[in-house]
Structure 1
Amino acid sequence: MTSKIKVMIVDDSALVRQVVSKALSRDAGIEVIATASDPVFAIDKLRAAWPDVIVLDIEMPRMDGISFLRKVMSERPTPVIICSSLAETGAQATFDAMAAGAVTIITKPKAGLKGFLEDSANDIVQAVRTAARANLRALPRAQAAASAPQHRPKISVDAMLAPGTPGAMARTTDQLIAIGTSTGGTQALETVLTRLPATCLGIVIVQHMPEKFTAMFAERLNSLCEIEVREARDGDRVVPGRALIAPGGRHMLLKRSGAQYIVEVTDGPLINRHKPSVDVLFRSVAKFAGSNALGIIMTGMGDDGARGLKELHDAGARTIAQDEASCVVFGMPREAIKLGAADEIMPLSRIPEAMISYTRASM
């Protein structure tokens, strides 16, 4: 008989502890073994029984959630789900938690909290199940702590998921690299982008992230990398030495102007439950770049990007999937591999060199 996933909930709100506990307890495979109103109480309870997953708030008395998270990750790395309302008013704190090793984030609203948590019960259960499978050994040992996009009318699901057409030029002087990632991706992208030279081909990236996080994430990477990294703006050109990250809450598509590539940042429906969506980006790259692109799918839960990578592969692009051993969550790469979308499967440590080699071959 498979053992249950043991969960601890650390939140100063009695309502959150009650509603989340009730939601998780409905799943026969999950057991809430402890709740705590702040990290100091949680530390005492950890001495008695250590959970498989911790659901953690950030703003709490006596010790903030980020300090507690860092303590947990330094002593006994454990999958942590951040459940916080700071996405709206203090995104830096939540981003710091992701950088410290949190597996995923659930953003709580400030109003209508009980209804939100009850409506999100299935999502919370799925987040716990996914977190329990996370490969924390794939996280780096040392964790370190734009302009508003122009708005276009929403485009339809059909338009966003329209399959690629033979419209891509067979070969152009401009080539590019497209990357899609989710859970564990903030650390993976830092590992990859910090190893690239300023001469690397232009890069377009979708990292599943809530609105307001991507600008800070891009600024952090920009301070660490030789290449320029920034949150994408509508109409930005894809050029060597620059990585464009899709803004949270907006889709990013590739377009072509002559032989040059630009990005369109636009509103639209959730695709595969995400906005931005990797599939939206990859399918547009397949359509407008085809064999002029390298597509890479990395760590993340779910299957967003798998079908898009297959379209890239079928359009003549070179395609790479991150291997299971180096993924925090193998979901997205696994689904792409199942579809036959990946030409190569490789560990995270080899992806930067593959990108550099692709750049050299394009010169």
Structure 2
Amino acid sequence: MAEPIRVMIVDDSAVVRETLKSILDADPGLQVVATAADPIIAAKKLENDIPDVITLDIEMPRMDGISFLKKLMAQHPIPVVICSSQADQGSGNALKALEYGAVDIIQKPKMGTKQFLEESRVTICDVVKAAHASRRRKPVRQLSAFADVPPKLTADVILARPSGNHLIETTDRVVVVGASTGGTEALRELLQALPIDSPGIVVVQHMPEHFTAAFAKRLDGICQVSVKEAEDNDSVVRGRVLIAPGNRHTLLKRSGARYYVEVKDGPLVSRHRPSVDVLFRSAARYAGKNAVGVIMTGMGDDGARGMLEMKDAGAFNIAQDEASCIVYGMPNEAVKRGAVDRIVPLSGISQALLRAAVDRRP
């Protein structure tokens, strides 16, 4: 059996430290080797022992988590998971943390933190494992010590499978993109490379609620295309990118020749909300051969089934290659299912999707 992933917890709350330690130590694939009440204490402990992954709060005494993260990445580039209760007011700081190299974010509520962490134990363990995988750049086996994990639901709970394309013919192309761990910076690179007249794009990036609006605003300020958090009934048009809001499923729909999005509640699909599988299934059903699918870096298999349904409906599908992925989980699952037409590095995805949208040739 492989050695457990060694974790350091840095948080000024004793309750959070104790709860996270209990959760992580209960998983046979994880082991908490150190805790620290602030970054100064953490730095001293790092002089003697370097863990595999660090969980890090943002607001702490003596030094904030963002400053510590920046120093850490310059000296010891350890995978870091931000565990913060400042997601709504502090989402700008959290996005800055992602820029500085944090792998993922666990959003803590301001009240009832202990209960939230205990209820989210499977997700927390998966995020820490994904962070470790980001350094190794290959997928890890997801382990869980809990027998009461809820069943992993498919897109059937949100939208029926496509059963033939009976829509009015249209030549308009639409692009749907799915990403998870490592996706924030991968999406920035992809979208910054697109011209202003790019086809309409809908994106599902696994992010906590309240982060997606700030993420979209940040991208809108640095990209030629317009980027916004998706709202129900937003039109999908050339030059616009819609980012699925955190904690809401986002579906592509069509009325005549008009594409638009439906934003709705619903159960977790592939343990995510929003789910890439839900978006991709809706693209298979309502866009069919006029869709281009892109699956990017991420832990798990969300999007693989939906991408295969897109391919069966005539769509052209692109996967990010292993070398440029932070975690080659989601793209790998889509490739293994035979759902992908072309595998390209991150730097080539923009041109690949533009070419596919124009002439559908690989």
Output the TM-score relative to the length of structure 2: 0.90
Matching residue within 316, 319, 328 for 1:318: 316
Deviation at 1:359, TM superposition (A): 3.7
For 1:344, give the aligned amino acid. Answer: R
**Preserved CA contact (<8 Å) 1:6 1:53:** yes
**Preserved CA contact (<8 Å) 2:284 2:313:** yes
| 2:75 corresponds to 1:75 | yes
For 1:290, give the aligned amino acid. Answer: G
| Number of the residue aligned with 1:133 | 133
Percent same amino acid among aligned pairs? 57
Matching residue within 276, 296, 299 for 2:297: 299
Matching residue within 329, 332, 335 for 2:333: 335
Which piece of structure 1 moves more, 208-217 or 27-36?
A: 27-36
Correspondence list, 1:253-292, <5 A: 253-292=251-290
| Number of the residue aligned with 1:25 | 25
**Preserved CA contact (<8 Å) 1:38 1:61:** yes
For 1:264, give the aligned amino acid. Answer: E
How far apart, in 2, do the equivalents of 1:89 and 1:221 lie?
19
| Number of the residue aligned with 1:195 | 193
| Number of the residue aligned with 2:106 | 106
Superposed CA offset, 1:312-334 (max 9, x none): 01101000111111111111111
Deviation at 1:69, TM superposition (A): 1.2
Correspondence list, 1:155-194, <5 A: 158=156, 160-167=158-165, 169=167, 172-194=170-192
Over 3 Å counting, the alpha-carbon distance change for 1:289 and 1:157 in structure 2 is: closer
**Preserved CA contact (<8 Å) 1:169 1:290:** no
| Number of the residue aligned with 1:146 | none
**Preserved CA contact (<8 Å) 2:82 2:104:** yes
| Number of the residue aligned with 2:147 | none
In structure 1, runs of 5+ residues without a counterpart are: 139-155
| Number of the residue aligned with 1:39 | 39
Superposed CA offset, 1:197-220 (max 9, x none): 112111111111111111111111
**Preserved CA contact (<8 Å) 1:168 1:290:** no
How far apart, in 2, do the equivalents of 1:181 and 1:137 lie?
15
Aligned residue pairs total 345
| 2:60 corresponds to 1:96 | no
Deviation at 1:4, TM superposition (A): 2.8
Name the SS for the 1:192 alignment partner. helix
How far apart, in 2, do the equivalents of 1:261 and 1:168 lie?
15
Matching residue within 247, 250, 261 for 1:249: 247
How far apart, in 1, do the equivalents of 2:36 and 2:156 lie?
46
In structure 2, runs of 5+ residues without a counterpart are: 139-153
Deviation at 1:170, TM superposition (A): 8.1
For 2:8, give the aligned amino acid. Answer: M
Over 3 Å counting, the alpha-carbon distance change for 1:120 and 1:258 in structure 2 is: closer
Correspondence list, 1:2-13, <5 A: 2-13=2-13
